Amino acid sequence: MISRRSLLLGAAGFAGAALVGNASGGRAYARPLAPVATPGAEKAVRLDLVAKERSLALPCFDGHDLPLWTFADQGLPPVVRLNLGDRLDTHLVNGLTRPGEHVSIHWHGIRLPNDQDGVPYLVQPPVEPGQSYDYSFVPPDTGTFFFHTHCNTVEQLGRGLAGILIIDGDAPEPYDDDQLVVMRDWRLDEARTGFLPFLTLEGAGRAGTFGTVRSVNGITNPLVEVPAVADVRLRVINVDATRISEIGFEGAEAAVVAIDGLACPPFPLRSWKMGPAMRADVVIRTPADGGTVTLFDYFAAKPVPLARFVAKGAPRRQGDFDPAPLAAARIPMPDIDGAGRLTMTFSATATGASVAAATGDDGLPLGPLCLSAASLWSINKSSWPGQGMDQLPPPLLQLQRGRSYRMQLKNLTPQMHPIHIHGHSWTVIGSNKRVLPPHHADTVLLLPKETLDVAFVADNPGRWMLHCHIIEHQETGMMGWYEVS
């Protein structure tokens, strides 16, 4: 089922390995990963965040102010940049006024100590309106990450509560430019004057409820200036609660150099499916002065342009495109042969349509309260009880600290699920449906009926979540936790 070749790539580890050929079928690039980056001296970086309602008119809102919920006055989302070795000291204030609207911050993909992971009830108390909470940790990995609330996520993320976290130090050979490409939709009514319900039973039981207005960096199909004939690093981040995009470029050669923040041997990008929370660092070789590169979403029948990059100025590079690799990830390679074997199944307990029919759906969108009884999804046959985090079910798994585990992630449903593991990153070994390039990931996309084979070293003790990152699936049952001790 899983090819021997892909198994070997996973088993041997790919840090420093120059691959001959590559999994995506295109040509391979010549250069191996750079050695693991060394952290600088620990320096404190102070971050003050106040989660509250701020009325803002993003360019994609057609001039209307919308009551967004954001973490900061400046920048949507705010961008936090550190160097490897820096300590991030965050003071979070909950300035939301709706009674009971508690918040927290989950630092998605950061392998941090368990008590900093931002999951209410599991590892910290919920931060109620008017309260504050402090986080402090040294991120162990370089790369492209983000953070978001882990409370009433479908609405809080839907209204904007997220930020970007970049840890620098992974590019021993600098690229000519470095750009953020933050993809997300907004669920706005037709006049763009207000939000539509963030959760619908119809959506929750299928692929999720989609936004109506698409954006990159707050703009629909923006035009971004980049240097000409240059190697430009694009940090593509899917911050959407629902939509899976399949990214690809026209007008430039493109290579993926990191997935979910962690370096992978560069491979040519034809298209790459990115579910919610997934990141890809892509290097493109831009055209000559005046030329344009377009980022498309090829997921739909008709490709949707997401952003355009227009090249300006004198050429910066000569010769063939051979993107500089990043520094290898600092994560331990699992011992595949000695690993404990686990299977996780992802299944549907009912479809949104059948639940809606059973409850006499009147065609109006249902609010979250109507759904509190609905468990639509499960992991290993158990659904998270209720929509909040306050009822803790038994753990899905109890893992031994320091041991390697190999997991089969089996999607038994006809929907796709971006499955996220807290506290660790997986090494992706293979799939029963497609050939995947060697990479690590904290969020893997399971195609319909796909089984993914992943492995990791359970080296981070604590209680960690494992859930689908289509937030409506997460909030209607496809969520669980595991313990490492």
273 binds, among ligand C2O, Cu ion, none (CB under 5 to 8 A by kind): none
Q: Which does 154 bind (CB under 5 to 8 A by kind): ligand C2O, Cu ion, none?
A: none
Amino acid at 146: F
**Which tokens is 46 given?**
């102070």
Residue 150: name its binding partner from Cu ion, ligand C2O, none (Cβ under 5 to 8 Å by kind): ligand C2O
Q: Give least dist CB 277 to ligand C2O, A.
A: 5
Over the Cα atoms of the chain, what is R_g?
Answer: 21
Residue 65 C-beta: closest distance to ligand C2O, Å? 28
DSSP 370-386: GGTT---EEETTBPPSS
- Partner in contact with 148, chosen from ligand C2O, Cu ion, none, beta carbon below 5 to 8 Å by kind: ligand C2O
Taking the C-alpha atoms of residue 410 and residue 449, their distance in angstroms, rounded to an integer, is 7
Q: Which is nearer to Cu ion, 194 or 448 (CB)?
A: 448
Residue nearest to ligand C2O (CB): 108
Which residue's structure tokens are 């960096």? 217
- What is the token pair recorded at 367? 């609010």
| Residue among 162 and 329 whose Cβ is closer to ligand C2O | 162
> What does 192 interact with, of Cu ion, ligand C2O, none (CB < 5 to 8 A by kind)?
none
Q: Are 299 and 445 in contact (CB under 8 A)?
A: no
**Minimum distance, C-beta of residue 273 to ligand C2O, in the bound complex (Å):** 17
Residues found near Cu ion in the complex (CB under 5 A): 417, 468, 470, 473
The one of Cu ion, ligand C2O, none whose footprint includes residue 236, by CB under 5 to 8 A per kind, is: none
Residue 425 CB, nearest distance to ligand C2O (Å)? 13
Strands in 286-432 per DSSP E: 292-297, 304-312, 340-348, 377-379, 397-399, 404-411, 417-421, 426-431
Shortest CB 440 distance to ligand C2O, Å: 16
Residues in contact with 377: Cβ distance below 8 Å, sequence separation at least 6, in sequence order: 346, 347, 348, 349, 383, 413, 468, 473, 476, 477, 478
Residue 209 near residue 201 (C-beta atoms within 8 A): no
Nearer to Cu ion, 282 or 468 (CB): 468
| Cβ contact 416:400 at 8 Å | no
Q: Which is nearer to ligand C2O, 405 or 481 (CB)?
A: 481
Residues of this chain that interact with ligand C2O (CB under 6 A) are: 106, 108, 148, 150, 277, 420, 422, 465, 467, 469
Residue 377: CB minimum distance to Cu ion, A: 6
Residue 245 three-state SS: strand
Q: Rounded to the nearest whole angstrom, what is the least distance from the CB of residue 117 to ligand C2O in the complex?
A: 9
422, interface contact from ligand C2O, Cu ion, none, CB < 5-8 Å by kind: ligand C2O
Q: Which residue, 420, 440, 418, 62, is CA-closest to 265?
A: 440
Specify the pairing of strand 404-411 against strand 340-348.
parallel
Residue 186 or residue 384: which is nearer to ligand C2O going by CB? 384
* Between 261 and 325, CB nearer to ligand C2O: 261
